Amino acid sequence: GDVHFWNWGYGYLYTVRSTVKDGGKAVDVVDTKTGFRKTAFQQGMVYLNDQVLMMKGYAQRTSNEWPAVGLAVAPWLSDFSNKLMVESNANLVRWMHVTPWRQDVESCDRVGLLQMLPAGDAEKDVEGRRWELRKELMRDAIIYYRNSPSVLFYESGNESISENHMAEMKQIRDQYDPQGGRA
């Protein structure tokens, strides 16, 4: 399939063409875009494809709304606004408070903008059912977006959380995205 370089060395996007044939004749063809990159998080640095990554970008509202249209944003408008971040020399968007909708995640895949996905936040560490809900949201976000090449981080909270809670979040990541190369 088609191969093109993705966002100045941050990885590769491939188009994989799957064909179902009947008697040698193609009866169904599906093109699937997928991305590949190598990550490492060590010595206080983020490595992407064996190079230290200087992260710079935006903390964008997860709704990513526009004046006059609000949340009724067409996919081309998501691509436009996310590409504006890339064109302003950003390489990372940290969505605020909760995981963004699929349209923006796929848009970041297309325009080459790395993402940090939060699992939900209360501006502090929480206990009881509120903590259980945050863990469930993290699990669901990881399962839903673990095949997105632009997702580089999962965020456990906007404010510090306890060491035990962070261990629980890392366990969820390791269970549902063990080979994803994400922090």
Task: Determine the residue type at 151.
Answer: V
In the prediction, which pLDDT does 171 show? 97
Contacts of 101 (CB under 8 A, 6+ apart): 62
In the prediction, which pLDDT does 64 show? 80
Higher model confidence: residue 14 or residue 6?
14
Instruction: Supply the pTM of this predicted model.
Output: 0.80
In the prediction, which pLDDT does 26 show? 93
pLDDT, the chain, mean: 87
User: Partners of 117 in the beta sheet?
Assistant: 154
Q: How confident is the model at residue 6 (pLDDT cuts 50, 70, 90)?
A: very low
- The tens digit of pLDDT for each residue in 81-106 reads 999 999 999 999 999 888 899 999 99
Please give the Cα distance from 146 to 179 (Å, whole number): 10
In the prediction, which pLDDT does 9 show? 47
The Cα-based distances of 134 to 3, 120, 167, 179 in angstroms read 37, 6, 14, 22
* Residue 4: pLDDT over 80: no
* Residue 3: pLDDT over 50: no
Residue with tokens 């998080």: 41
Please give the Cα distance from 30 to 20 (Å, whole number): 9
- Phi–psi pair at 50, nearest 5 degrees: 65, 15
* Residue 136: pLDDT over 90: yes
Percent of the chain with pLDDT over 90: 57
Q: What is the mean pLDDT of residues 129-139?
A: 94
- The tens digit of pLDDT for each residue in 39-76 reads 899 999 999 888 898 999 998 888 888 888 888 888 99
Q: Name the burial class of residue 62, with classes exposed (0-12), middle (13-18) and buried (19+) by CB atoms within 10 angstroms of its CB.
A: middle
